[in-house]
Amino acid sequence: MAGIELEASRTTLNPGESLTLSITGIDQNGYRAAISPDAVQFSDDNGMGFVKNGIYTAGPKEGVTVIRASFGGYKAAAAVASGTQPVPLGNLDQYSPSFIGYPASVAGDVSMVSGGQVNASAMKLSYDFTGSAESTAAYAVFGNGGIPLAERPQKIGVWVYADQTMPHWIRGQIKDKNGNVQTIEFTQGVDWTGWKRLEAAVPQTLAMPASLERLYVVE
Q: If pLDDT is split at 50, 70 and 90, which confidence band does 13 have? A: confident
Q: If pLDDT is split at 50, 70 and 90, which confidence band does 158 have? A: very high
Residue 107 host element (H or E): strand 107-114
Predicted local distance difference test score (pLDDT) of residue 84: 63
State whether 46 and 113 are in the same domain: no
Provide the domain limits for residue 39. Answer: 3-82
pTM of the model: 0.62
Q: What is the CATH number of the domain that holds 144?
A: 2.60.120
State whether 11 and 57 are in the same domain: yes
Q: Are strands 12-13 and 74-82 parallel, antiparallel or unpaired?
A: parallel
For 143, the 3-state DSSP assignment is coil
Whether 102 is in a domain gets the answer: yes
Whether 87 is in a domain gets the answer: no
Q: 82, 101, 123: which is the final residue of a domain? A: 82
Predicted local distance difference test score (pLDDT) of residue 143: 93
Nearest to 18 by CA among 61, 62, 56: 56
| In the predicted structure, residue 17 carries a pLDDT above the cut 70 | yes
Q: If pLDDT is split at 50, 70 and 90, which confidence band does 151 have? A: low
User: What's the whole-number average pLDDT of the chain?
Assistant: 90
Whether 76 is in a domain gets the answer: yes
For 105, the 3-state DSSP assignment is coil
State whether 53 and 109 are in the same domain: no
Q: What is the mean pLDDT of residues 102-130?
A: 91
State whether 153 and 105 are in the same domain: yes
Amino acid at position 177, single letter: K
Higher pLDDT, 189 or 134: 189
State whether 40 and 128 are in the same domain: no
The structural domain count of the chain equals 2
DSSP-derived secondary structure letter, 152? S
State whether 78 and 98 are in the same domain: no
State whether 19 and 70 are in the same domain: yes
Predicted local distance difference test score (pLDDT) of residue 74: 94
State whether 131 and 181 are in the same domain: yes
Predicted local distance difference test score (pLDDT) of residue 182: 95
Q: What is the CATH number of the domain that holds 64?
A: 2.60.40.1930
Predicted local distance difference test score (pLDDT) of residue 55: 95
Q: How far apart are CA 77 and CA 55, in angstroms?
A: 15
Digit-coded pLDDT (tens) for 198-218: 999 888 788 888 999 999 999
State whether 130 and 78 are in the same domain: no
For 94, the 3-state DSSP assignment is helix
Digit-coded pLDDT (tens) for 18-53: 999 999 999 898 899 999 999 999 999 999 999 999
| Angle at alpha carbon of residue 24, lines to 63 and 18, rounded to 5° | 35
Q: 49, 82, 115: which is the final residue of a domain? A: 82
| In the predicted structure, residue 91 carries a pLDDT above the cut 70 | yes
State whether 96 and 204 are in the same domain: yes
